[in-house]
Amino acid sequence: MNDTNPPLQPSRSKPWNDPRVRAIFFQVVALAVIAWSGWTLIENTLANMESRGISTGFGFLDQSAGFGIIMSLIPYDATYSYGRTFFVGLLNTLLVSAMGIVAATILGFIVGVARLSSNWLIAKLSLAYIEVIRNIPILLQIFFWYFAVLRSLPTPRQSVDVGGVFFLNNRGLYLPDPIAQPGFGWVEAALVIAIVAVVVIKRWAKKRQQATGQIFPTVKVGIGILIGLPLLAYLVTGGPLQWDVPALKGFNFGGGITLIPELAALWVALTLFTAAFIAEIVRSGILAVSKGQTEAARALGLHNGLTLRLVVIPQAMRVIIPPLTSQYLNLFKNSSLATAIGYPDLVSVFMGTTLNQTGQAVEVVAMTMAVYLTVSLLISFFMNLYNRAAALKER
Amino acid sequence: MSESMAPPKRAFAPIRWMRENLFNTWYNVLLTVVVVYMIGTSVGPLLNWLFLDATFTGADPKDCIGDGACWLFINQRLNFFMYGFYPDAQQWRVDIMFLLLAVAFVPQFIERFPARRWLGIFGMTGLPIIGYILIPGGWFGLEEVQSHKWGGLMLTLILAYVGIIGSLPLGVILALGRRSEMPIIRGFCVIFIEVWRAVPLITVLFMASVMLPLFLPEGMNFEKLLRALIGITLWQSAYMAEVIRGGLQAIPRGQYEAASALGLGYWRKMRLIILPQALTLVIPGIVNTFIGLFMDTTLVLIIGLFDILGTVQSTITDPSWQNVATEGYVFVAFCFWVFCFGMSRYSQNLERKLDTGHKT
């Protein structure tokens, strides 16, 4: 026995064994490492830029750009500033993304439903489409449409001519351009009135249906108003619209609207690629709705169309929306591949030409990345709103 | 007394199948007819172009005279499409790596292959080291081959392979960090993951090739390939982290609590209990991410590296060959399709096998 031992005390844990102390310690270390690396990066960058004679700051945005851009949604020529090139590129990116999202959603839903068709041939054809398209890189598909398909179209002199109004050649697709004459404002006003009327009718019909159970044919009446009212205004004011039809002038077409081949190739490739993924999402979404739901709807006496519209699709949408959002984001990000075929999108114009001319890599890259970050966050924000509206409301 | 009824008439099986699956309603009849007509009119010309009228052998571009595809073009430039500018005399080194890659990873598709697991572990650990010695060379008497001479399918595989090997550990760390209870570490991981996921790979590659030299101290500089690899790995690790996080979240809370009850600390808990289960669960997800990465490696041609699409693209624009764009793209598409379709089938099978049917 050892009598010199002090009486046993409750053991106090050492501070470095206390999880809370350790957590604080690790976080302080992490913060220090991050701060140190950030500081080193900034210091290195500043030193490197100084030694290479690169100026800093956003002053370059006001300087004249001095290069042309083949397609712009806002007025632009070489005398405009670098800041303007940013917006030209941004708008072109948003244009092709929006076109792609709309077309890919429509095609994807069609293929997804066709995949579940009772027609064996249609189902297998959709399966083949999905499996072929989504296992081939998107860049390769863009190249294929641009270099192999659109480049081999005839020259302007031998254009494909559809009724002397539409022309297709290797410089693009030429469409007649509607030019509003005085009085066209009435047609536009009629369209606005029609939209407001449809919204009002829809609300009234819903309220009436909830109160009395009577169903009002909202869709048919709505379409009638949307088409009829502007058409009436158009006829009454005497057709105040002129078509600027494209015509061959010298070696190329003039007038009309041009869909440049770069945009067409990018649009087709993005649509086909994303639609294959959306189709799989739609299919799994529809399959996720249990068969009992369809059977119960049929037992209530709903016919096929109503079962689909009121029972299956609303429930399938809950499963579909989250992965659909990430497909939209992918399409938006993939639109940056425009730079490979020379469509003047944000990356191609701003991160390409503007960066090369000004050399201000840090500012340009930061601005471009900030745009992608913002738009990505916006798309997921709006899709989350929609998702919350469509989500299962539980107690 | 009731009369016995004749058995129901059963049509000849194929006819009954067709009636049920192709001609069951009037619109299905219409669709079937239209689709059969479309397939009938397109298959013939397609087969003619692909095989019957195609030119397979010959000496130079002038031999491609038929209406069909000019596969001679692929045949003649195949070496370039496989190895890029890698010197002919040294190509056995690349061939060894191709072989070792196949030995390590093809058995993963075959169930009950002996020592499958060990081959996989070798593929993830030993093989990168062998590749690092063999491909660039410069030691053990191997002639040095600089990275700007690498190209073709070999470069595509290097980019995808290094991307996945590098992003897996980074992804695990980021995923653990995102689920950590320490706010600063969690915040940092969330920002890191979300920023990389929000920007397109092409901007990452631009950043790696334009801005990385600015970030580094004077005199320290990498070659273009290494910069692209760093960009791809960081970008990919954000996606990997999200896949792994899915696996971590799927592990029931009881597993975490039981591990803590056994007195395991954080790292041992993760290493021995949680990660083995979580990583097994997300193998299909990792394979899918890999397919995406494999297809996205084609983007490096935009910053001037010659991957398989880059080599084909540069040959197409070669004036000595005329109108071979379609042949080139079909060839590359076929290469990618075989790899990606195989892998996606593998991950689908695995998913079915791992699905215990009693999730949530």
- Closest residue of B to A346, CA-based? B203
| pLDDT tens digits along A116-137 | 888 888 899 999 999 999 999 9
pLDDT class of B326 with cuts at 50, 70, 90: confident
Mean pLDDT of chain A, nearest integer: 84
The predicted pLDDT at position A161 comes to 76
| pLDDT tens digits along B164-211 | 889 999 999 999 998 888 888 888 888 888 888 888 998 898 888 887
> Which residue type sits at A201?
I
* Percent of chain A at pLDDT exceeding 90: 22
pLDDT reading at B139 higher than 60: yes
Q: Tell me the nearest-neighbour CA distance from B149 into chain A, angstroms.
A: 22
Catalogue the long-range contacts made by B214-222 (C-beta closer than 8 Å, 24 or more residues apart).
Answer: B214/A44, B214/A45, B214/A48, B214/A49, B214/A361, B214/A362, B215/A41, B215/A44, B215/A45, B215/A48, B216/A44, B216/A48, B217/A44, B217/A47, B218/A44, B218/A47, B218/A48, B218/A51
Instruction: Work out the burial of residue A74: count CB atoms within 10 Å of its CB; fewer than 13 is exposed, 13-18 middle, 19 or more buried.
Output: exposed
CB nearest B182 (choices: A27, A336, A361)? A27
Contact A319/B at CB under 8 A: no
Is there a contact between B308 and B332 (Cβ–Cβ < 8 Å)? yes
Q: Tell me the nearest-neighbour CA distance from B223 into chain A, angstroms.
A: 18
pLDDT reading at A1 higher than 70: no
| pLDDT tens digits along A254-289 | 777 778 888 989 999 999 999 999 999 999 998 888
Spatial CA neighbour of B122 closest among B155, B137, B100 = B100
Residues 172 to 231 of A: which have CB under 8 A from any B CB?
Answer: none
CA atoms within 13 A on the CB side of A78: 3
Q: Spell out which residues of chain A touch residue B182, defining contact as CB-CB under 8 Å.
A: 23, 26-27, 30
Task: Give the span between the Cα atoms of B350 and B344, in whole angstroms.
Answer: 10
Tokens of B242: 């999200």
Spatial CA neighbour of A246 closest among A163, A176, A178, A180 = A176
Task: Give the span between the Cα atoms of A86 and A373, in whole angstroms.
Answer: 16
Lowest mean pLDDT among A165-179, A243-257, A343-357, B230-244: A243-257
Task: Give the span between the Cα atoms of A319 and A322, in whole angstroms.
Answer: 7
The predicted pLDDT at position B221 comes to 67
Task: Give the span between the Cα atoms of A328 and A378, in whole angstroms.
Answer: 12
Helices (H), chain A: 19-52, 82-115, 120-133, 138-143, 184-212, 218-236, 261-288, 291-299, 304-306, 313-334, 346, 355-358, 361-390
| pLDDT tens digits along A54-111 | 777 777 777 877 787 888 888 888 788 888 888 999 999 999 999 999 999 999 999 9
pLDDT class of A3 with cuts at 50, 70, 90: low
Mutation pick from A140, A272, A273, A345 vs chain B, by most beta carbons of B within 10 Å, is A140
Contact yes or no for A119 and B28 at CB 8 A: yes
- Please give the biggest Cα pair distance in chain B: 106
pLDDT reading at A395 higher than 70: no
The pLDDT of A13-18, averaged and rounded, is 72
Residues 3 to 32 of A: which have CB under 8 A from any B CB?
Answer: 23, 26-27, 30-31
